[in-house]
Amino acid sequence: MAHIEIENLTFSYPSAGRPSLSNVSLTIRRGEYVVLCGKSGSGKSTLLNLVAGLESPTDGSINVLGQRIDRMSEIERIRFRRSHIGFVFQSYRLLPQYTAIENVALPLMLRGVEKRERERRALEALDMVGIAKCARQRPAQMSGGEQQRAGIARSIITSPAIVMADEPTGNLDSRTSQDVLSLLKVTSQKFAQTIVMITHNEEIAQTADRIIRIEDGRIVR
What are the tens digits of pLDDT across the range 186-210?
Answer: 888 888 899 999 988 888 888 899 9
| pTM for this entry | 0.88
Low-confidence ranges of the chain (pLDDT < 70): 16-17
Break the chain down into helix, strand, coil percent, rounded to 5.
40, 25, 35
- Give how far Cα 195 sits from Cα of 36, 134, 209, Å: 11, 26, 10
- The residues facing 35 across adjacent strands are 197, 211
Residue 197: phi and psi, rounded to 5, are: -125, 140
- Give how far Cα 5 sits from Cα of 60, 82, 142, Å: 11, 20, 38
Looking at 85-130, list the stretches that DSSP marks H as alpha helix, in order from N- to C-terminal side: 100-110, 115-128
What number of other Cβ atoms are within 10 A of residue 149's Cβ?
26
Residues 6+ apart with CB under 8 A from 76: none
